[in-house]
Amino acid sequence: MVRRLTQVDHSKHVQPLPRPDAAAVTPTPTGGVPVIVDGLCHRYGPLGVLADVALDLDPGEHLAVTGPSGAGKSTLLALVGGLDGIQAGSIQVGEQLVERLRGAELADYRRRTVGFVFQHFGLLEALTARENVELAMALAGQSRPARRRRATDLLERVGLEERAAHRPAALSGGERQRVAIARAIANRPALLLADEPTGNLDEDTAWQVLQLLSEVRAETGCTMIVVTHNPEVARRADRRVRLSRGRLIA
Q: What is the pLDDT of residue 30?
A: 45
- Tell whether the model's pLDDT for residue 9 goes beyond 80: no
- Tell whether the model's pLDDT for residue 8 goes beyond 50: no
Distance CA 108, CA 104 (A): 6
> Distance between alpha carbon 208 and the CA centroid of its chain, in Å?
16
pLDDT band (50, 70, 90) for residue 129: very high
Distance CA 201, CA 35 (A): 29
Short-list 9, 63, 4, CA closest to 212: 4
By percentage, how much of the chain surpasses pLDDT 70? Answer: 88
Per the prediction, the chain carries an average pLDDT of 85
By percentage, how much of the chain surpasses pLDDT 90? Answer: 54
Burial (CB count within 10 angstroms: exposed 0-12, middle 13-18, buried 19+), residue 143: exposed
Looking at this protein, which amino acid is placed at residue 36?
I
Distance CA 213, CA 153 (A): 17
Greater pLDDT, 59 or 9: 59
pTM for the model:
0.82
Distance CA 77, CA 73 (A): 6
- Tell whether the model's pLDDT for residue 89 goes beyond 70: yes
pLDDT band (50, 70, 90) for residue 78: very high
Distance CA 137, CA 236 (A): 29
pLDDT band (50, 70, 90) for residue 12: very low
Q: What is the pLDDT of residue 99?
A: 96
Which residues 6+ apart lie within 8 Å of 141 measured at CB?
none
